[in-house]
């Protein structure tokens, strides 16, 4: 898998099908920059991978918290 395809996969996993604007906002870059990275028109800076790792970790923590606080179904009496 190319770096560009991996970036797109991470973006979709984190933010859904309209991921580019949200990812750009969280990385502090223009959405056009993200589009250029994915298209292969511009190299993806090395530092972006550490930032993506941090965003993935934050999402994991959020999802774990949601799962641990999920209401339990009540049994019918």
| pLDDT at 76 > cutoff 70 | no
| Confidence bin at 77 (pLDDT 50/70/90) | low
pLDDT for res 72: 85
Domain range annotation of the chain: 3-68
pLDDT averaged over every residue in the chain = 93
- The closest of 46, 11, 9 to 26, measured between CA atoms, is 11
Mean pLDDT of 51-65: 94
Question: In the predicted model, is pLDDT for residue 2 greater than 70?
Answer: yes
Has this prediction a pTM greater than 0.85?
A: no
Q: What is the DSSP letter of 62?
A: H
Q: What's the farthest any 2 CA atoms get from each other in the chain?
A: 62
Residue-level pLDDT at 16: 95
């Amino acid at each position: 898998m190319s770096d560009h395809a991996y970036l797109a996969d991470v973006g979709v996993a984190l933010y859904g099908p309209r991921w580019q604007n949200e990812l750009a906002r969280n990385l502090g870059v223009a959405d056009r920059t993200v589009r250029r990275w994915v298209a292969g028109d511009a190299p993806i800076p090395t530092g972006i991978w550490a930032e993506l790792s941090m965003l993935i970790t934050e999402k994991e923590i959020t999802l774990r918290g949601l799962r641990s606080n999920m209401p339990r179904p009540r049994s019918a009496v």
